[in-house]
């Protein structure tokens, strides 16, 4: 069990990219002492500006930590960082929280290795994007034991608006990839509908006013409208920059498609969404917000 008060913990944070940087800053705001590490000097400088202590290696950052939070690009890196630099180097009493979006099998493998070494660990991928990471309004989907979740919840709550226990190890990742498969497919359908509405001569604001209050309503329309100047502010109003990159949506869709294949599930809509985002990213749009796929329709 952690020895510090929940509002005064020593937390190592590994991975300070577009999402991790804001998340680490919110842990500082909540009163935690954050020991940060990233390979990028620019990311480390921003972390220092936000009140984090920075270190030159993962092993230095996790030394004496009561919790370790990671936000890393993929499962291979998560496995490598935990096996080489976290497990056996952070105190065995430290809680491990991986907030990366990775495949379920790797999440379970890393959790099993952590458990064998005496650690409690949760997989806690997020939903909400960069603005939510900066604003502390992320949603966390958490996999792990009841005891590990109870320890993780107050830490995650400092970075989000909702912390939901999805089940045992790997369940957080399963929930994330299923959720984002819905998001990828519904965004494409929303873009198609706006493109069709325009070609049929409908005013797009009028169509939004109708569909956002009718059976076509979805988060992709009412919270993240892909049309500039329509609905609440979204990346569409900023040239489709910021938000959630198409390359990351493609990554999540591939994880969902691979997971479906591993359990014999049919996901024709998810598969087609993956194909369309692959084409969109291959055309040089990987860094464009995923709602920008409307430009290809």
For residue range 197-254, what is the model confidence (pLDDT) as tens digits?
Answer: 999 999 999 999 999 999 999 999 999 999 999 999 999 999 999 889 999 999 999 9
The answer to whether 158 touches 43, Cβ cutoff 8 Å, is no
Does the pLDDT at position 3 exceed 50? no
Per residue in 84-127, pLDDT tens?
Answer: 999 999 999 999 999 999 999 999 999 999 999 999 999 999 99
Residue range 280-285: average pLDDT? Answer: 98
Does the pLDDT at position 138 exceed 70? yes
- Who's near 236: CB < 8 A, 6+ residues apart? 225, 226, 227, 228, 230, 289, 291, 292, 294
Q: Which of 176, 199, 254, 295 is catalytic?
A: 176
With bands split at pLDDT 50, 70 and 90, how would you rate the model's confidence at 4? Answer: very low
* Structure-token match 């591993």, residue found: 262
Catalytic residue list contains 161: no
The answer to whether 125 touches 173, Cβ cutoff 8 Å, is yes
pLDDT at residue 131, rounded to an integer: 87
With bands split at pLDDT 50, 70 and 90, how would you rate the model's confidence at 1? Answer: very low
State how far the alpha carbon of 176 is from the alpha carbons of 10, 140, 156, in Å: 28, 9, 16
E strands, the chain, are 10-14, 33-37, 53-54, 67-70, 95-98, 120-123, 126-127, 138-143, 160-167
CB atoms inside a 10 Å sphere around CB 42: 10
Does the pLDDT at position 5 exceed 60? no
Q: Which residues of 158-171 are buried (b: 16+ CB within 10 A; e: fewer)?
A: bbbeebebbebbbb
Residue range 145-157: average pLDDT? Answer: 98
Residue range 34-40: average pLDDT? Answer: 98
The answer to whether 295 touches 279, Cβ cutoff 8 Å, is no
């Amino acid at each position: 069990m952690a020895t510090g008060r929940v509002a005064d913990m020593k937390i190592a944070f590994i991975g300070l990219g577009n999402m991790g940087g804001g998340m680490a800053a919110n842990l500082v705001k909540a009163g935690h002492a954050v020991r940060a590490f990233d390979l990028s000097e620019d990311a480390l400088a921003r972390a220092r500006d936000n009140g984090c202590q920075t270190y030159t290696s993962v092993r230095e950052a996790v030394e004496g930590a009561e919790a370790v939070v990671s936000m890393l690009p993929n499962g291979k890196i998560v496995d490598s960082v935990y096996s080489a630099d976290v497990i056996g180097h952070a105190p065995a009493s430290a809680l491990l929280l991986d907030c990366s979006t990775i495949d379920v099998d790797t999440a379970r493998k890393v959790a099993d290795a952590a458990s064998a070494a005496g650690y409690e660990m949760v997989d806690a991928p997020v939903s909400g994007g960069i603005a939510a990471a900066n604003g502390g309004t992320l949603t966390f989907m958490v996999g792990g034991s009841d005891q590990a979740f109870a320890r993780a919840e107050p830490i995650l709550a400092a970075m989000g608006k909702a912390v939901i226990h999805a089940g045992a190890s790997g369940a957080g990742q399963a929930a994330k990839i299923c959720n984002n498969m819905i998001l990828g497919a519904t965004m494409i359908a929303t873009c198609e509908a706006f493109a069709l509405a325009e070609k049929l001569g409908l005013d797009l604001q009028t169509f939004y006013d109708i569909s956002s209050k009718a059976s076509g309503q979805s988060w992709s329309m009412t919270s993240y409208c892909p049309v500039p100047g329509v609905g609440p502010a979204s990346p569409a109003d900023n040239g489709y920059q910021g938000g959630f990159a198409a390359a990351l949506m493609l990554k999540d869709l591939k994880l969902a498609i691979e997971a479906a294949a591993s359990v014999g599930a049919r996901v024709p809509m998810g598969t087609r969404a993956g194909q369309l985002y692959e084409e969109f990213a291959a055309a040089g749009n990987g860094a464009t917000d995923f709602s920008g796929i409307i430009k290809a329709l």
